[in-house]
A and B are shown apart, each in its own frame.
Chain A
Amino acid sequence: MVVDRSPRLDRVFHALAHPARRAIVRQLSVGERTLTELASPLKMTFPAASKHVRVLEAAKLVRRRIAGREHRCSLRASPLKDAMQWTEQFRRHWEASFAALDTLLEEMKAQEQPRSRRD
């Protein structure tokens, strides 16, 4: 498993990158909704809304239950939490330190320059 190339995390961030899908997540944060209920405020057709829900399902952000003719959707928040806790914190710690190291190295190079070469 390659952490920063995690397909699962990619799917979460990809899923949340679209305003319509954020709107769907927002609606579902209140409670379960049918696909028709999700589609109407977005002025979307059923297939278009279904397509967005499919992206959210792939990221495991949304669960869809088919009951008769109704597609009932609900939110699963754990991948969001996982995304933050599992890799982002570890990554952020190292990225911040290495960014500081970049700055330090620039200073060290600048200090050396007068002795080693003149531009």
Chain B
Amino acid sequence: MNQKGLQISTPTDTTIVLTRTFQAPRRLVWEAMTNPQRMRRWMLPPPGWTLTVCVCEARVGGALSLAWKNDEADPFMTLQGVFTEVVPHERLVHTETMQLASGEVVSSLVETHAFAEQGGITTMRITQVYESKEARDGALASGMDQGVEAGFQQLEALLAEVA
């Protein structure tokens, strides 16, 4: 099961690499990653958020556009990107800027997805390259700015257990 588990590494100061194995051919993993109807099923928003916009045009120059709303604002956060490299079922590269309704940019990065299949099992490797070490560390530390509160709750539970 270790092979299936999520691996997270930071090979350079500005990079995060996520590797995960899926029990499905890469054709299906690709479909799940690029078809907006499918994406809505697995891209879980933080509690209280709803995904309102989901556009994914997986071709060079195509747009990636996501938006979430919550009690505070609609949209509360947007993600805008452009596909710069698309090799069907193999490789996807897109830019991505996450922005709050206030206009504040939360993160700006280039994301590469590489899909390798062996015996009907797909290994997907996501490489995120941030603009700076500070931006990369910020994304890691904040849980992509999502559900930080849940982290504190878990910390409290752990402290309650030892206290």
A residues contacting B by CB (< 8 A) are: 1-5, 16, 22, 25-26, 29, 77, 80-81, 84-98, 100-106, 108-109, 112
Q: Are A89 and B8 in contact (CB under 8 A)?
A: no
What is the CB-to-nearest-CB distance from A98 to chain B, in angstroms, rounded to a whole number? 5
Encode contact with A along B32-54: 1 for CB under 8 Å, 0 otherwise: 10000010011110100000000
User: Does A94 lie within 8 Å of B6, measured CB to CB?
Assistant: yes
Contact surface of B with A, Cβ cutoff 8 Å: 6-10, 16, 18, 20, 22-24, 28-29, 31-32, 38, 41-44, 46, 139-144, 146-148, 150-152, 154-155, 158-159, 161-163
A105 touches B43 (CB 8 A): no
**In the docked arrangement, what's the CA distance between A91 and B146, Å?**
11
Known contacts A4-B7, A95-B6; decide if A84 and B151 are in contact (CB<8 Å): yes
Shortest B29–chain A CB gap in Å is 7
Instruction: List the B residue with the shortest CB-CB distance to A12.
Output: B158
Most buried by B among A77, A81, A93, A103: A93
Option from A3, A81, A85, A93 in Cβ contact (under 8 Å) with B144: A93
Question: B152: which A residues are within 8 A, CB to CB?
Answer: 84
For residue A12, give the distance in angstroms from its CB to the closest CB of chain B.
Answer: 10
Q: Tell me the dominant secondary structure on chain A's binding face.
A: helix
When the two chains form their complex, are residues A3 and B10 in contact, meaning their CB atoms are under 8 A apart? yes
Q: Tell me which of A81, A93, A108 contacts B31 (CB under 8 A).
A: A108
> Cβ of B141 and Cβ of A96 under 8 Å apart?
no
Find out whether the CB atom of A92 lies under 8 angstroms from the CB atom of B143.
yes
Contact flag A87-B140 (CB < 8 Å), given A102-B22, A104-B32: yes
Kindly provide the distance from the CB of B153 to the nearest chain A CB, expressed in whole angstroms: 9
CB-based nearest A residue for B148 = A89
Which residues of the other chain, B, contact A16 by a CB distance below 8 angstroms? 158, 162
With A29-B163, A100-B44 already in contact, the answer to whether A93 and B32 are too (CB < 8 A) is: no
A-B contact pairs, 19 of them (CB 8 A): A2-B10, A22-B161, A22-B162, A25-B162, A80-B158, A85-B141, A85-B155, A86-B140, A89-B142, A90-B139, A90-B140, A90-B143, A90-B144, A92-B147, A93-B44, A97-B43, A105-B22, A108-B28, A109-B24
> How many Å from the CB of B39 to the closest CB on chain A?
9
User: Given A91-B8, A94-B6, A105 and B140 touching (CB < 8 A)?
Assistant: no
